């Protein structure tokens, strides 16, 4: 900082020259104090003005020694008044600067409480998985257990054990992906029926959800990979009424109170067989296949069909999900399009 208001003390001094020097000091010092822009500048200014050694006021006062005795108290008083005034001005300016800095900081850190909150998207279940879980949960409520089976299957479990022999035209109902080594990708969840009954003696009540594969070209209603839930109950005395009651109970819970109809159909592993439709927006939509477990299947497992009977059902989960939510294209379920997924 330059001492632009350095005051030269003239020699010899008298009351008038000292008084005018004090006045000049006051004027210039006040000006510089008011112009100081930081606490640091103010502190340097204080030292250069009021510092005991070499401060400008001390230097004026130092010259007081040359005044006649009777003038000294008056001069001392004036110098003290000036000192006090400057001290006050310094602390006022300091206060001002602090207030200004605080104001600036507050403005910078201000929180606009009326600003819209940041959008934090919440994750949620994929509609397909939610449908799968819901279907399984409904059957669990009816006393069913969840079981699992491999996606890579043998011809035996996927076809033969389900009463679909090698040369049977029913094999062509399901176009199969064959793997090298003779295995295949399961075309339905029905092989889990066989695997479960091989290792569990009846009575059984199980559901088997999972992925299945077919050589279908992709379009609005077909995908080479999709999901099914298999339902199987085997016990003494089970008849078609049990199947019908179970299916209707499930459909009412999952779809609500839509009209339901059973249509006679054919599956090699059930006899009799039916397909089940629900009426939605004036149209009948097929949602599952079902039937009484064919005695040939039970026999193949070493179970006496005179004693044991069973019913089974299989449904496509994509299909159920699409009917349930009014989705028009199966590809949407595999597209990961958030605009679509956010709706569920
Ligand atoms: N597995 C059949 C299919 O994928 C669906 C099916 C029909 C399963 C009747 C069953 C059943 O358990 O009883 O087309």
* Separation between Cα atoms, residue 153 and residue 195, nearest integer Å: 11
Q: How many domains does the chain have?
A: 2
The finding on whether 230 has its CB within 6 A of some atom of ligand 1 is yes
Cis peptide before 341 (omega within 30 of 0): no
- Is 114 among the domain residues? no
185 φ/ψ sector (left φ>0, alpha ψ -120 to 50, else beta): beta
Residue nearest atom 4 in ligand 1 by C-alpha distance: 188
208 with 292, same domain? yes
* Separation between Cα atoms, residue 239 and residue 266, nearest integer Å: 17
Q: Which helix (H) or strand (E) holds 190?
A: none
Indicate the SS3 state at residue 248: helix
189 with 327, same domain? yes
Domain that holds residue 87: 2-109
- Is 244 among the domain residues? yes
Contacts of 162 (CB under 8 A, 6+ apart): 190, 191, 193, 194, 268, 269, 297
List of the chain residues with pLDDT < 70 = 1-12, 170, 173
- The pLDDT assigned to 334 comes to 95
- The pLDDT assigned to 228 comes to 98
191 with 89, same domain? no
The finding on whether 79 has its CB within 6 A of some atom of ligand 1 is no
Residue nearest atom 2 in ligand 1 by C-alpha distance: 314
- Is 232 among the domain residues? yes
The finding on whether 63 has its CB within 6 A of some atom of ligand 1 is no
211 with 70, same domain? no
191 φ/ψ sector (left φ>0, alpha ψ -120 to 50, else beta): alpha
Ligand 1 centroid–CA 288 distance in Å is 7
The finding on whether 294 has its CB within 6 A of some atom of ligand 1 is no
* Separation between Cα atoms, residue 142 and residue 39, nearest integer Å: 80
- The pLDDT assigned to 3 comes to 46
Ligand 1 centroid–CA 341 distance in Å is 29
The finding on whether 314 has its CB within 6 A of some atom of ligand 1 is yes
């Amino acid at each position: 900082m330059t001492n632009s208001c350095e005051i030269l003390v003239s020699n010899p001094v008298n009351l008038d020259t000292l008084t005018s020097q004090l006045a000049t000091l006051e004027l210039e010092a006040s000006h510089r104090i008011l112009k100081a822009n930081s606490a640091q500048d103010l502190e340097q200014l204080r030292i250069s003005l009021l510092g005991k050694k070499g401060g400008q006021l001390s230097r004026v006062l130092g010259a007081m020694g040359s005044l006649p005795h009777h003038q000294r108290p008056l001069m001392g008083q004036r110098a003290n008044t000036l000192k006090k005034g400057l001290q006050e001005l310094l602390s006022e300016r300091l206060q001002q600067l602090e207030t200004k800095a605080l104001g600036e900081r507050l403005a910078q850190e201000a929180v606009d409480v009326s600003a819209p909150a940041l959008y934090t998207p919440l994750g949620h279940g994929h509609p397909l998985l939610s449908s799968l879980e819901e279907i399984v949960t409904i059957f669990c409520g009816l006393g069913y257990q969840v079981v699992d089976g491999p996606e890579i299957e043998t011809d035996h479990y996927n076809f033969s054990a389900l009463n679909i022999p090698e040369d049977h035209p029913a094999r062509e109902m399901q176009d199969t992906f064959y793997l090298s080594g003779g295995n295949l990708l399961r075309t339905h969840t029905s092989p889990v029926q066989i695997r479960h009954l091989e290792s569990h003696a009846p009575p059984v009540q199980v559901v088997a959800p999972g992925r299945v594969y077919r050589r279908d070209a992709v379009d609005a209603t077909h995908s080479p990979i999709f999901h099914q839930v298999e339902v199987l109950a085997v016990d003494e005395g089970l008849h078609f009424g049990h199947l019908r009651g179970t299916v209707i109970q499930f459909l009412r819970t999952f779809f609500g109170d839509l009209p339901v109809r059973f249509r006679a159909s054919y599956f090699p592993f059930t006899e009799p067989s039916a397909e089940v439709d629900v009426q939605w927006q004036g149209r009948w939509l097929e949602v599952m296949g079902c039937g009484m477990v064919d005695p040939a299947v039970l026999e193949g497992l070493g179970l006496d069909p005179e004693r044991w009977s069973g019913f089974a059902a299989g449904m496509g989960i994509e299909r159920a999900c699409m009917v349930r939510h009014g989705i028009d294209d199966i590809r949407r379920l595999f597209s990961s399009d958030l605009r679509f997924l956010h709706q569920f």
